[in-house]
Amino acid sequence: MGGAESVPAPDLRVKRAMALAKMDMKDVGKFWKQFRKLDKEMRSQIDIEDYYEAIEEQRSIYGDGIFELLDITHAGNIGFGEFIQSIVVMCLFEYEEIMKYCFYVFDKDKNGYVEKAELDTILNVFHHVASGEKLGGNPAKAKKSLKISDDGKIEFDDVKEIAERFPSLWFPAFRIQNNMMVKYMGETWWNKKKRQLQDMKNLKAKRKREKELEEDAKFERLRQRKIRKKMGLIKYYACPWNRKVYDKMFPKRVKDVDHGLSAEELAELRKKAREEAKRLEEMMIKNPSTQEWRNYLKSKERKTKIKVQREKGLGPGGEPLTLAEKEASKQRPKTEASERQQRLERRRAKHKLVNKTIAN
């Protein structure tokens, strides 16, 4: 009867437990076998007292907190779905999740902090101190060493600090988990399962990061393509320092991370970037560059390219210059007065053209 084939059809809670722990029906069958041992009356229900007795723990509000966390309502007994889900969730808790669970259970008002009286309740429950009795031994000494703020409010970070400084106080919080792991499937199985789930989580995060990097690279390639089209091929490669001028027209990708901004602020930032890009685009349409201005830019790019090549010791075609050619390129050629006058007039005409373009 304990085989996987005799397990009833999984209900919603069983399916959630299977999804959470990545279990198959063979694993569920092992839990079903343990459940049937506790179901002495064969009614597909077990008493809560038997649930605790199986893991050698006293029933407490700390243990019952897992049922509250999972929205399990019971009248002293639970079914197989509640049984397997509560065990899987409790056994898969990591250290900090156990601390959060403790805080959740004893923060009765759910206001984000516990008071000194609630802390006393936590310790009394952990160490099985009956009503009217006092905490004794090492836990009592550790409790006296606690420093609580004047307002008496203890937040989650304070609870973590207490647990790290005084592990003897908080050890019972982990005992119920350890007993469950030993009783059901064994510690080795649970530790292996935790490593498997963590590896899957890390792999998922890695793939997500790789996808983000791929999307960033794709976006940047498209952005540079638009800038290259706007600048022109020669200017784009000959004057790479001028590309940043087009960043407003073609803004870089705004990443949701690394900014610490809220969703509303990010939406507003994207909206402003779109509006600025639209404004610059409209301005380019209203004031298109003239043929004279484009010729001027090409001439300037050509001269800049020649200047860079000369500084590198290269000729117009990219061939290395001889020593005589290098010396000749450094000397200013002698010109006639008429040539100087023509050059001056051309320079003035260019300045007029630039001023006219800017004015438009």
Dump pLDDT digits (tens) for 16-43.
999 999 999 999 999 999 999 998 888 8
- CA distance to 62, 64, 137, 150, 192, per residue, from 68 (Å): 10, 7, 32, 31, 28
To which CATH superfamily is domain 4-199 assigned? EF-hand (1.10.238.10)
Answer for the pair 31, 1: CB distance below 8 angstroms, yes or no: no
DSSP string, 54-105: HTT----HHHHHHHHHTT---SSEE-HHHHHHHHHHHHH--HHHHHHHHHHH
Sign of CA dihedral 127, 130, 131, 134: negative
**Assessment of whether the complete model's pTM goes beyond 0.75:** no
Query: Rounded to an integer, what distance in angstroms lies between the CA atom of residue 182 and that of residue 55?
Result: 8
Dihedral (Cα; 17, 20, 21, 24), 10-degree rounding: 60
Contacts 24+ apart (CB under 8 A), 353-357: 353/292, 353/293, 353/296, 354/293, 354/296, 357/289, 357/290, 357/292, 357/293
Q: Each residue's pLDDT tens digit in the chain (360 positions)?
A: 444 458 888 889 999 999 999 999 999 999 999 999 998 888 889 999 999 999 988 888 888 888 888 888 777 889 999 999 999 999 999 988 888 888 888 777 777 777 777 777 777 777 777 666 676 666 666 666 666 666 777 778 877 777 787 777 778 888 889 999 999 999 999 999 999 999 998 998 899 888 888 888 888 899 889 888 888 888 888 888 888 888 888 888 766 444 455 667 777 777 777 777 777 666 666 666 677 777 777 888 888 877 777 777 776 666 676 766 666 666 655 556 677 778 788 888 877 776 776 666
> Where, residue-wise, is CATH 1.10.238.10 in the chain?
4-199
- Bridge partners of 314, per DSSP, are 320
Predicted pLDDT at 90: 92
